[in-house]
């Protein structure tokens, strides 16, 4: 099985005021490429829908190396890195056309029942088709994020129709936006973001009101939690890591 590769430019609407690629958009590139490769392999959302199941992102870990400028050409590579038990792993690498690294990432996906709205075992035929590549994008890519002990409340978000994806719930990319918006509201800036770890624990649907919470972790980290206001259930837990230039 070959690696899937895609080449594309950084478009003007994908950049911020500094004309550099926005972090949330870079993460969305990964989901887009994963969908294209799954379709190429015969496991598109439409195909899985015929079996009453779908793909759902369970967790992701991203290491950021640079933020390319508007107009730069990027090369994205993605490949499966094995399936076991309930999880299927997919890795990614983005670089510029000249070879400069942009990010590396690992993600873990689950099969989700469209009617049960619950995680289901990974079918054997998928495990066999997604044989592992020998090279992971990130070493030690486990995502273990502790429960927040004394978080402070951040902004609220209402799940709009534009936030809802094919699976009928808030898209994982929007949760990345929510986490980063909370961090930016606490004086962080995109230039200093070095790492993102995020775990998706439950789904949000149209018109849910959500709230972000966060607390510092050590000298360079923030822990994040996105919760549903109606019942307090934690939907997302995340960690962001910041380096020089990460604060206003």
pTM: 0.89
Q: For residue 133, what pLDDT band results from cuts at 50, 70 and 90? A: low
**Cα torsion through 94, 69, 199, 248, rounded to 10:** 140
- Cβ atoms of 95 and 47 within 8 Å: the answer is no
Q: For residue 123, what pLDDT band results from cuts at 50, 70 and 90? A: confident
| Range of weakest confidence among 74-88, 141-155, 212-226 | 74-88
Mean pLDDT: which of 50-59, 135-144, 217-226 is highest? 217-226
How far is the C-alpha of 122 from the C-alpha of 213, rounded, in Å? Answer: 33
How far is the C-alpha of 193 from the C-alpha of 3, rounded, in Å? Answer: 28
Reported residue count of the chain is: 248
Q: Do domains 1-141 and 144-248 have the same CATH topology?
A: yes
Query: Domain 1-141: which topology?
Result: Thiol Ester Dehydrase; Chain A (3.10.129)
Residue 82 has pLDDT above 80, yes or no: no
- Ordered by start, the domain boundaries in the chain are 1-141, 144-248
How far is the C-alpha of 204 from the C-alpha of 17, rounded, in Å? Answer: 30
Q: What is the CATH class of 144-248?
A: alpha beta
Instruction: Give the 3-state DSSP-derived string for the chain, with helices as H, strands as E and coil as C.
Output: CCCEEEEEECCHHHECCCCEECHHHHHHHHHHHHHHHHHHCCCCHHHHHHCCEEEEEEEEEEEECCCCECCCEEEEEEEEEEEECCEEEEEEEEEECCCCEEEEEEEEEEEEECCCCCEECCCHHHHHHCCCCCCCCCCCCCCCCCCCCCCEEEEEEECCHHHECCCCCECHHHHHHHHHHHHHHCCECHHHEEEEEEEECCCCCCCCEEEEEEEEECCCEEEEEEEECCCCCEEEEEEEEECCCCEC
How far is the C-alpha of 224 from the C-alpha of 234, rounded, in Å? Answer: 10
Query: Tens digits of per-residue pLDDT, 24-80?
Result: 999 999 999 998 998 888 887 788 888 888 888 999 999 999 999 999 999 999 998
Rounded to the nearest integer, the mean pLDDT of the chain is 89
How far is the C-alpha of 53 from the C-alpha of 36, rounded, in Å? Answer: 18
């Amino acid at each position: 099985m070959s690696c899937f590769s895609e080449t594309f430019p950084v478009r003007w609407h994908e950049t911020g005021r500094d004309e550099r690629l926005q972090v949330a958009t870079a993460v969305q590139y990964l989901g887009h490429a994963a969908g294209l490769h799954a379709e190429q392999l015969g496991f598109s959302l439409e195909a899985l829908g015929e079996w009453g199941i779908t793909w759902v992102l369970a967790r992701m870990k991203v290491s950021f190396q640079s933020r390319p400028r508007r107009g730069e050409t990027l090369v994205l590579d993605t490949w499966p890195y094995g399936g076991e038990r309930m999880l299927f792993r997919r890795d990614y690498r983005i670089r510029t056309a000249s070879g400069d690294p942009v990010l590396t990432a690992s993600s873990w996906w689950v099969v989700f029942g469209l009617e049960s709205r619950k995680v289901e075992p990974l079918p054997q035929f998928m495990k066999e088709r997604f044989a592992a590549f020998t090279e992971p994008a990130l070493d030690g890519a486990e995502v273990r994020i502790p429960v927040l002990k004394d978080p402070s409340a951040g902004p609220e978000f209402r799940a709009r129709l534009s936030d809802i994806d094919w699976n009928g719930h808030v898209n994982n990319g929007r949760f990345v936006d929510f986490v980063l918006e909370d961090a930016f509201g606490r004086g962080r800036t995109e230039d200093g973001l070095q790492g993102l770890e995020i775990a998706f624990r439950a789904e949000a649907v149209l018109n849910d009101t959500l709230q972000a919470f966060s607390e510092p972790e050590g000298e360079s980290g923030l822990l994040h939690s996105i919760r549903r206001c109606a019942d307090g259930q934690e939907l997302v837990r995340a960690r962001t890591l910041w380096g020089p230039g990460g604060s206003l």
